[in-house]
Amino acid sequence: INAEYGGKLIANDDEYNGDTFVRYVVIGCQHTERTRLAERAAEYVRQGARLLYTCPDEFDVYDDGRFCFGMAMPLVDLICKTTGVVPYGLGKPNSHMLRMALKLLLAKRPDLGWKNVLFVGDSMGTDIRTAIENGVDCALVMSGTTTPEKLARSAIQPNFVFPSVKEIHDVISQVPLPVEGDLDDY
């Protein structure tokens, strides 16, 4: 949980004396219990700070299948309910991050474009949605939050589905990667 005031970033447990108006509160993933920080964030928002968040996921899944709580949205939802504000999401599926990634890609490899990119993710609601809404081919890995049932019922569908990232690596390692100037063949 970060807040910004007067050009200074307040990060998690940093002390803030309350003398300066906090302009933004940014909620990211918190994998520790931080009730006091959540209350402080809600108070900044109640006083007029803008609420931003990094990820709309409710939970994640560890490699061994256990649930991982501490994602941003439960806290964002609580702050919205208690303060009446409307937040803004900075992360997926916000297309701004993809436009910035393409800009960086083109700066290094002007011969590349979205047709040469595979967006890999484990969540239908953020990762796969981001790719589809931006015209990027996508691969879903079933090692995250998406179950076979969710995939079957989803209105959006990825281009590819793999059990995990390892299988993507296995497939890609069998295909020769293009070098600059050879992309007309792909």
In this prediction the pTM is 0.66
- Please report the pLDDT score of residue 185 as a whole number: 46
Is residue 146 within 8 A of residue 122, CB to CB? The reply is: yes
The Cα–Cα gap between 128 and 133 comes to 9
Pair of tokens at residue 32:
């520790």
- Please report the pLDDT score of residue 83 as a whole number: 95
Residue 166's alpha-carbon distances to 28, 39, 127, 142, in angstroms, are 27, 41, 18, 11
Alpha helices in 47-128 (DSSP H): 72-83, 96-108
- Please report the pLDDT score of residue 154 as a whole number: 94
pLDDT one digit per residue (tens) for the chain, 186 residues:
555 545 555 555 555 555 667 888 888 877 666 788 888 889 999 999 999 988 877 777 777 778 878 788 888 999 999 999 999 988 887 888 888 888 998 899 888 888 888 999 998 988 999 999 989 999 999 988 788 999 999 999 999 999 999 999 898 888 776 555 554 444
Alpha helices in the chain (DSSP H): 35-46, 72-83, 96-108, 129-133, 148-153, 165-172
Is residue 28 within 8 A of residue 76, CB to CB? The reply is: no
Greatest Cα pair distance in the chain? 62
